Amino acid sequence: MTIQTMALIGTGVMGMGIAQIAAQAGLEVRLFDVQAGAAERGLNQLKQTLEKLQLKGKITVQQLNETLARLKVIEHIEAVAGVDLVVEAIIENIEIKQKLFLQLENIVSEQTILATNTSSLSVTAIAAALNIPSRLAGFHFFNPVPLMKIVEVIAGLATEEVVVVDLLELSQRMGHLGVRTKDTPGFIVNHAGRAYGTEALKALGEGVASVSEIDRILREGAGFRMGPFELFDLTALDVSHPVMESIFNQYYQEDRYRPHALTRQMLAAKKVGRKVGEGFYRYVEGKKINEAAAQLVPDVTQFNAVWIYADLKHDDLILRQYLREKNITLDVAEQPAADSLIILATYGEDTTTAALRLGVDATRAVSIDLLTDFAKHRTLMPSIVTQKEYVDQAHALFAQDQHGVSVIEESMGFIAQRVLAMVINLACDIAQQQIASATDIDQAVRLGLGYPYGPISWGDQLGSQRILLILERILHNTGDQRYRPSPWLQRRARLNLSLLHSTTI
């Protein structure tokens, strides 16, 4: 069936966003809200939005008029009769949603598709209350709908294939990428999104670096658009902390999703983020006022010889080349000379562990993170016994050419290593659980979370073997099952295949 007519129940933020893209795609849309006047208000606001788009030249006058002509407020829910599809975007409450769908079943024909925009409820559980559960699917959009060009089409256990196919086709007509998703907690995007914030919180809780420094490393070093704490402040902890707890509990306390006590406390103290003026940062008129400045580069002019160890040949080469360019004497002996600065480029371990593993003097050792582009923001990690003069030399050395440098406390794996490895591993495990195809997961997460790359192709870019090494070492060094590599990642890394590779049978 080609869906031509739609009814939208619940004309709040999401409902009106969905109504807009549907009407712009040529569908007749009927709008209903239980609150008197809400649908009218929603339509008026949408009219203003469309008029602005027209004034900016994004749509023509004809398109504006035609789109508005397709949108109609209905006073009684019975007036949805005859539509091809009903989408609900009402309050997030399973009993109320089930009651609405039962009511709708008495109004619409047996062929009408019913869809829910729920972000956290089980589609299967909502459908279980219906007379014909096979006609219900999840149709999960993201806010703001017209800009977030992704929608998860969620098949509950009873959902008929044709319903999924029709919704995927409609998604495309509305200019959105529809991704087929199994009904599981958090679906794809809210599930995959658990890694970024929880790992950053864990590093913060361990005292690895400050809020500003962790944000800086992940933004400027790793390439995320927003640091995790800036993002928490924007989303607000009254929204994101319950999501973290809910996904963790729905997966029966799976360590990979483990939330952190810190955000529960902040929530109790009502420090939920930007909207109240305080979260991880403080805000005045929506602007951060207490972001710590970048660390000062120490004034060092004399450098000792530098002895290098790198886990990977590639890292060894770029380090040597960098030091040669800076006219630094390289200590090329088997073991470092008595006063050489020891630079370690390792993965998934702290500097103490690396120095002991390699049998070098920890008091002169500083590790550098070479997972992300060496040319960008750099992270250094001295051991707990590294002498200050050696830390200062390393800092000054790698801050040359105006590069930002963060010096962090010891951590099993650097911040970018830990966070990126967790993000990639979780996306791989979503593929392993067959919640969606690897390609769909990759695209959904990129579009839904605004990551610079899909997490699975990001893993390919950084090297799946490196990601595997990080996870295996952190798992070994901490014993925390949170870091266990997904079988999806392990097999592909060991066989040297793309992480997007799917089974051939």
Ligand X SMILES: NC(=O)c1ccc[n+]([C@@H]2O[C@H](COP(=O)([O-])OP(=O)(O)OC[C@H]3O[C@@H](n4cnc5c(N)ncnc54)[C@H](O)[C@@H]3O)[C@@H](O)[C@H]2O)c1
Is 444 a binding residue for ligand X by CB under 6 A? The answer is: no
Binding-site size for ligand X (CB under 6 A) equals 23
Q: How far apart are CA 196 and CA 214, in angstroms?
A: 12
Residue with smaller CB distance to ligand X, 119 or 198: 119
Please tell me what DSSP assigns to residue 292.
P
Binding residues for ligand X restricted to 124-143, rule: CB under 6 A: 141-143
Is 171 a binding residue for ligand X by CB under 6 A? The answer is: no
What CA dihedral angle connects 124, 129, 133 and 139, to 10 degrees? Answer: -50
Is 417 a binding residue for ligand X by CB under 6 A? The answer is: no
Is 35 a binding residue for ligand X by CB under 6 A? The answer is: yes
Q: Which stretch binds ligand X (CB under 6 A): 27-35, 60-68, 316-324, 362-370?
A: 27-35
Query: Which residues share a beta bridge with 306?
Result: 330, 341
**245 vs 54, 232, 254, CA distance in Å?**
43, 14, 11
Binding residues for ligand X restricted to 307-336, rule: CB under 6 A: none
Residue with smaller CB distance to ligand X, 33 or 369: 33
SS3 82: coil
Query: Which residues share a beta bridge with 116?
Result: 88, 138
- Site track 106-125 with ligand X (rule: CB under 6 A), x = hit: -----------xxx------
Residue with smaller CB distance to ligand X, 42 or 455: 42
What backbone phi and psi angles, to 5 degrees, belong to 9?
-105, 120
Is 92 a binding residue for ligand X by CB under 6 A? The answer is: yes
The distance in angstroms from the start CA to the end CA of the chain is: 31
Residue with smaller CB distance to ligand X, 155 or 370: 155
For residues 373 and 403, is the Cβ–Cβ distance under 8 A? no
- Site track 360-379 with ligand X (rule: CB under 6 A), x = hit: --------------------
Contacts of 271 (CB under 8 A, 6+ apart): 237, 278, 279
Residue with smaller CB distance to ligand X, 60 or 143: 143
Is 33 a binding residue for ligand X by CB under 6 A? The answer is: yes
Q: Which stretch binds ligand X (CB under 6 A): 29-37, 240-248, 286-294, 446-454?
A: 29-37
Is 10 a binding residue for ligand X by CB under 6 A? The answer is: yes
Q: Closest approach of Cβ 34 to ligand X, in Å?
A: 4
User: Which one among 90, 137, 412, 431 touches ligand X, defined by CB under 6 A?
Assistant: 90
And the tokens for 117?
Answer: 């925009």
Short-list 179, 165, 177, CA closest to 2 = 165
Q: Is cis: bond before 455, omega within 30 of 0?
A: no
Catalytic machinery residues: 119, 140, 152, 190
Q: Closest approach of Cβ 237 to ligand X, in Å?
A: 15
Q: Closest approach of Cβ 52 to ligand X, in Å?
A: 20
Residue with smaller CB distance to ligand X, 130 or 294: 130
Is 9 a binding residue for ligand X by CB under 6 A? The answer is: yes
User: Which one among 91, 102, 234, 375 touches ligand X, defined by CB under 6 A?
Assistant: 91
Query: Which residues share a beta bridge with 155?
Result: 137, 182
Is 27 a binding residue for ligand X by CB under 6 A? The answer is: no
Rg (CA), the chain: 26
Contacts of 491 (CB under 8 A, 6+ apart): 497
Residue with smaller CB distance to ligand X, 77 or 308: 77
Short-list 317, 366, 370, CA closest to 342 = 366
Is 273 a binding residue for ligand X by CB under 6 A? The answer is: no
Short-list 141, 123, 142, 143, CA closest to 133 = 123
Q: Closest approach of Cβ 115 to ligand X, in Å?
A: 11
Is 44 a binding residue for ligand X by CB under 6 A? The answer is: no
Q: Closest approach of Cβ 186 to ligand X, in Å?
A: 12
In this chain, which residue has its C-beta nearest to ligand X?
12
Containing 19, the helix (H) or strand (E) segment is helix 13-24
Pairing of strands 330-331, 306-310: parallel
Residue with smaller CB distance to ligand X, 75 or 92: 92
Contacts of 123 (CB under 8 A, 6+ apart): 116, 136, 137, 138, 154, 155, 156, 159, 183
Q: Note the residues at the interface with ligand X (CB under 6 A).
A: 9-15, 33-35, 38, 89-92, 96, 100, 117-119, 141-143
